[in-house]
Amino acid sequence: MFCPKCGSILFPKTIKGKKIIKCSCGYTDKKLDIPKITETTRQKEEVAVVDKEVEPYPLADAECPKCKHGKAYFWTVQTRASDEPETKFFKCEKCKHVWRDYN
């Protein structure tokens, strides 16, 4: 709320046990309408626990150098300068071994 005389913010004060709003310029108002702030909280949702690790990467035909399995997940990362090709990483579907391919 703002003072109608000077436009400053009105502050609540307690004078002789009564609550009023008062301005620094001397204006007072005896009707005090302080808005009531309420807060409501919602119950948190339960988090689902996943026992199995799910790979978000696509599966490709690639032979694992460790276990010789024929399928691996892959993703690419720009590890060098932007004018050079990306580095392709593989993760074996069976033994989870990770290796890179620079081709």
Residues 20 and 29 sit within 8 Å (Cβ to Cβ): yes
In the set 33, 39, 53, 83, the catalytic residue is 83
55 is catalytic: no
Let me know: does 15 contact 9? Beta carbons within 8 Å: no
Our answer to whether residue 83 is catalytic in this structure is: yes
The active-site residue out of 55, 63, 84, 101 is 84
d(CA 97, CA 53): 15
Rg of the chain (C-alpha set): 34
Q: Which residues form the catalytic set?
A: 83-84
